[in-house]
């Protein structure tokens, strides 16, 4: 299990436990995190699971694949250095405690 904290644009925090192997998006959807729509169901085809990884956690994330980088070019909220698709981040011991900011 990995603890994941989602911070809404208004500062409200919601911490969840995600099973190891789940995507961070899957944990958000199963726990009804507002702002993580995941329209494509995790196929890396829509960017509606866009999150900002807290700067303190960027080095713990795996390198971004080119397809993710391309999808981030179409996000509605401004792309930032911590922009990631939550469907491509997998809950693991390495990400236990990760903090994610949900775009406005």
Tell me the fold of 2-101: Ubiquitin-like (UB roll) (3.10.20)
pLDDT, average across residues 60-83: 94
What's the token pair of residue 86?
């939550």
Per-residue pLDDT band for 13 (boundaries 50, 70, 90) equals very high
Where residue 11 falls among pLDDT bands split at 50, 70, 90? very high
9 in Cβ contact with 104 (< 8 Å): yes
Tens-place pLDDT, residues 19-45: 999 999 999 999 999 999 999 999 999
Q: Write down the mean pLDDT value for the chain.
A: 96
Q: How far apart are CA 76 and CA 4, in angstroms?
A: 23
pLDDT of amino acid 57: 98
CA 100 – CA 14 distance, rounded (Å): 10
Q: What pTM does this model have? A: 0.94
Q: Across residues 70-87, what is the average pLDDT? A: 94
Encode 36-101 in three state secondary structure. Answer: CCCCCCCCCCCCCCEEEECHHHHHHCCCCCHHHHHHHHHCCCCCCCCEEEHHHCECCHHHCCEEEE
Tokens standing for 52? Answer: 């900002």
Which residue in 91, 96, 86 sits closest to 40, CA to CA? 86
Yes or no: say if 88 and 12 are a contact pair by the CB < 8 Å rule.
no
Quote the pLDDT of residue 34.
96
């Amino acid at each position: 299990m990995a603890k994941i904290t989602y911070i809404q644009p208004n500062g409200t925090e919601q911490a969840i436990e995600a099973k190891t192997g789940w995507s961070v998006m899957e944990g958000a959807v199963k726990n009804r995190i507002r702002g993580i729509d995941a329209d494509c169901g995790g196929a890396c085809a829509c960017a509606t699971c866009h999150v900002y990884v807290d700067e303190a956690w960027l080095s713990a994330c795996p390198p971004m694949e080119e397809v993710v980088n391309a999808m981030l070019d179409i996000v509605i909220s401004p792309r930032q250095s911590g922009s990631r698709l939550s469907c491509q981040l997998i809950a693991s011991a390495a990400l236990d405690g990760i903090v994610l900011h949900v775009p406005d």
